[in-house]
Homo-oligomer: A and B are copies of this chain.
């Protein structure tokens, strides 16, 4: 291919689509045409990308004509229906939904971890990992390569933007309602009363609360988010028997998913060994100086590309186990950035 490839952004008006457009505007440009695609409701709107005003076109089979690579950020059901239609028209799809992630013929790719998995994509689809898994896997993968991962026990602290712009709006609404009343949170029931019925996509108020739930109810009391962390970690690392237990919890943070990680390896390692590996790992920032108040936190990680890792401690009862805390921007590496990175690797293939 001598021309620069054409990219479609499907779901361009959503909150992840917005970050995708920002990234496309700020990264080295590898694309010819960029086409913004959305539902009929948004078609006709003008959105800015790469300094150009682009008109959003409706999601139809014809919208994919001439497209080389499409990045999808739409609900699972929409991906399930439309990704194969795009593929039929010659498009390679990078999908950020959960629809295809566990499909045996769809690679689940984090470029810094398993770029080689991209090579085999018989369905013409490459999946992007879940946002909580993504933040965690960036730090765990390089440690796994050196010490052989055996088990993960995970507890998440997930931001509301993981539930879309509506999640962000609802948290800000709730903060307005609770700010200024200093009795709230000290007496039973008064936060629920102050927040009222507008819970948005969440099962309970997020302001002044933590909610141990994210996603849908699956078998045996697990949430879909917890199973994603387990299944996707296994697939990305190529460890089908990896032991994983996750508890996923939503917290009143706008953007930045955090995970408390207890990781058991096959061989012994010290906290300083782990720091040495992570200092040299791609797309990881080591922030591990508690005496100086330096540890990973959402308010610092938001808007940045890497995973922030700190609070690294060797487990006191097992010289093969580490405890640590990891925070990553769920909208960037956790969603838009990883998708853009995969799309750019496809562009490189096409223009090679």
Contact = CB atoms under 8 A, between A and B. Distances in A.
Interface of A: 151, 153, 155, 157, 159, 161, 168-169, 172, 175-176, 178-180, 182, 184-189, 191-192, 203-205, 208-213, 217, 220-223, 230, 243-247, 249, 251-255, 258, 260, 262, 271, 288, 290-291, 293, 295-300, 302-304, 310-318, 321, 323-325
A143 to B, nearest CB: 16
B295 A213 contact: yes
B311 A220 contact: no
B304 A208 contact: no
Contacts of A262: 153, 245, 247, 262
A161 B213 CA distance: 24
Nearest to A212: B325
Given A155-B260, A188-B300, 7 more contacts: A151-B317, A159-B185, A204-B293, A210-B253, A212-B325, A221-B312, A246-B323
Nearest to A270: B220
A315 B244 CA distance: 8
A186 B253 contact: no
A215 to B, nearest CB: 10
Given A188-B302, A290-B217, A321 B254 contact: no
A217 B294 CA distance: 12
A325 B247 contact: yes
Contacts of A151: 317
A188 B295 CA distance: 15
- Which 5 residue pairs across A and B have the least CB separation, nearest first? A185-B254, A155-B155, A179-B179, A155-B260, A188-B303
Given A210-B253, A245-B316, A325-B212, A172 B176 contact: no
A247 B323 contact: yes
A249 B258 CA distance: 11
A185 B256 CA distance: 9
